[in-house]
Structure 1
């Protein structure tokens, strides 16, 4: 039986749910075991002026996430005929995932310059896009689908690199990036499963399983950090799944699905980069100017901040569901809905910063 992008049976996700939940639990357990090993290995993350922690804590716990995900992906390639893609594309996804994970782990060990990390991200993105995973069109509300043509691969690479870095930038407080990834993956798996996108459904579930095994070690009090190997890998895979969701399902989803799910992260990063650009600061330089960092510097509890960003992901998930079911005239309203909680958050952080007499945000 040859692998196909999707299957015709609309109830596959429901019928196979017990097995998928067992796979999720098994991968979470495997991830947790690998995380414990990484805690024993103890790659140190030493505190400095731009970090939130004040004592040395091991990092690279994301190796557990990557290991569990790749194990699940290999099982999917071997046994998951109905959920995997045709061989060249599937192997391209696996190769890109391994590449970004390997370079990110080396970055945790040797702290590469930003240019080296960016080059590795571009290479991994090109591997996935070169294998055939590229956006073909963009769905605008009211206007409809606009073919991207030759711009599709270029825009896909830029999208993958941006989301990869966004998740890396946002990984600065206990549980924030991991919890956001878990919420986004669960929403993405549920939405894709209901729309016949079983590659996206299963792959999102694999990533969710790996993150679920890591999160208890990272929240509410971090005993280990995921490191670049975890944050970059999660961002990279979510970006790939966002593209795959547009043309590997019975009902093609909008490219806006993953941006809505990650709205809190993407808006924070875009807001911070825009503010730093206007101030003439070096965008590649490490800083403590993200909204979540400013809130923490102003005295807000890190656990509460993480929960707020999980809430952004949940609100984004609800927005996706509303967008998919909304009448055409209401779709633009739904798309911009995540701006409301974000603007409220930005205003509140500005208030905290003024009260704490924080001058330049970093």
Structure 2
């Protein structure tokens, strides 16, 4: 049996080497040397994008030769099943043609999705489906109407996963080689001979192609190649699951396809968070991020080969699915993925971390917001400037700002006449406040500020309230909307009432303790405070 497998693999490698060379030369002579097909592709070289044809030809030819010699070697009778081959190859051919059309005509996303869904339906009709999954309380079997969408989702996801990572020379093909090796080993473990044969033929075709696709490449894999490889791996995983225990059938393929699945998950989440269409191409994939960190093209590919190898090794450890082993694998992979994502510095996930941190601090944010809302209720009934000052200081003293300036402006003469009352203050700062123990005099140091224009409900501009906060690593523990929506108008109306009563406002600069010491407690009755 070993000699048969060795012959299949060797034959596939040789055929792929020959076919890739021929396809490359033929496409170049026809003028089909094109640039990268997508925004995510980085290389500007004009090369043929028909590598998928060479892989498909080598794969199918190897299987055809196996059928020819089937009558010579009796041991092949139990390995090769024409029904299984047709079940997998017919939709696989459809996927290849769909990718080939996309390489030349740039097919629309809905057309590609429709073709992939139809290929998934063909697999399901041929008996390859997801019929059960391991859940928390045991294995759950599904009726056909649930198994069909799960099967389609699996086929579409894995096909596009390998298509997404096809952005650097040799990356998609090399990652697929590790996954194919895992499929082969699992098939041997599960005694699924036909999957072993198909996986070896596919692995050999990839190896022969990589000779021309590794950096610097002379031919691209193309969508026809990446989609075909992804589809074949999804189909082989489904076929292998027919004889394997449930945990092996489900967990091992998912882990072994870890890099492309992770790329799909990150891409979907990134685009969803940023409000972009999921199908939009960009240069924010894992390999792009590694290039931005200064790695060379070849270094990035080799590093991601290492990541694929780690996923492959961890998936093979699940061949002995003890509870402790599964927990260990999941914990190590989850930790590694999280650390890796953090080091890639995606702004979308930095924002998620900020929101999560803000959620943990929500109690303090709630308290600070509540202090501002209470101040607004108090400002609605006061008409004394000293009371206004004490309310502002009380609201911000335990809040997240370090200082504020209340600046009032002199109105034009005609506006004073229109209002029919005086405003006996000079233009300038009516009140300056800074938090005790946080600032040195008025030297606040590096700060950012928030300026609130104080406009009354009648549309009069009375002045501004400028809030200052020193730069610090901790996020602002207050909702800005609480300060910007109603608070400026309510404060302006309170100041307007103060002017209407012709109460003199003396510009002064006091910190919180001095202000309270000179003014007493807050009085909401409207009476003047004790001197």
Say what the alpha-carbon RMSD is for the aligned residues: 2.3
Cα deviations across residues 248-279 of structure 1 (Å, max 9, x unaligned)?
35998321211100112211220121011011
Name the counterpart of 1:148.
142
C-alpha separation in 2, matches of 1:250 and 1:20:
24
1:233-252 aligned at under 5 Å gives the runs 233-248=228-243
SS in 2 for 1:146: strand
Cα deviations across residues 80-102 of structure 1 (Å, max 9, x unaligned)?
432234x5443221211111112
Q: Specify every segment of 5 or more residues in structure 2 that has no aligned partner in the other structure, as ranges.
A: 71-75, 348-531
Deviates more, 1:260-269 or 1:291-300: 291-300
C-alpha spacing 1:99/1:299, structure 2 compared with 1 (3 Å): same
C-alpha spacing 1:177/1:303, structure 2 compared with 1 (3 Å): same
Indicate which of 245, 249, 253 corresponds to 1:254: 249
Indicate which of 21, 34, 54 corresponds to 1:45: 34
Q: Does the 8 Å CA contact 1:107/1:228 hold for their aligned counterparts?
A: yes
Q: CA deviation at 1:173?
A: 0.5
C-alpha spacing 1:305/1:345, structure 2 compared with 1 (3 Å): farther
Q: Does the 8 Å CA contact 2:162/2:229 hold for their aligned counterparts?
A: yes
Question: Greater share of strand residues, 1 or 2?
Answer: 2
1:1-362 aligned at under 5 Å gives the runs 16-40=1-25, 41-42=27-28, 43-47=32-36, 50-76=40-66, 79=70, 80-85=76-81, 87-140=82-135, 143-150=137-144, 151-248=146-243, 253-350=248-345
**Number of aligned pairs?**
336
Q: Does the 8 Å CA contact 1:269/1:290 hold for their aligned counterparts?
A: no
Deviates more, 1:156-165 or 1:112-121: 112-121
Q: Which has the higher contact order (CA 8 A, sep 6+)?
A: 1
C-alpha separation in 2, matches of 1:191 and 1:127:
24
Instruction: Name the TM-score, length of structure 2 as normaliser.
Output: 0.60
Instruction: Name the TM-score, length of structure 1 as normaliser.
Output: 0.86
C-alpha separation in 1, matches of 2:106 and 2:95:
15
C-alpha spacing 1:251/1:297, structure 2 compared with 1 (3 Å): closer
C-alpha separation in 2, matches of 1:148 and 1:261:
24
Q: CA deviation at 1:119?
A: 1.3
The runs of 4+ residues in structure 1 deviating greater than 6 Å are none
Question: Who wins on radius of gyration, i.e. which is larger?
Answer: 2
SS in 2 for 1:225: coil
Deviates more, 1:343-352 or 1:49-58: 343-352
Deviates more, 1:300-309 or 1:270-279: 300-309
Q: Does the 8 Å CA contact 2:258/2:311 hold for their aligned counterparts?
A: yes
Deviates more, 1:274-283 or 1:307-316: 307-316
Cα deviations across residues 17-57 of structure 1 (Å, max 9, x unaligned)?
12211221111111111111221113323157543112212
Question: Greater share of helix residues, 1 or 2?
Answer: 1
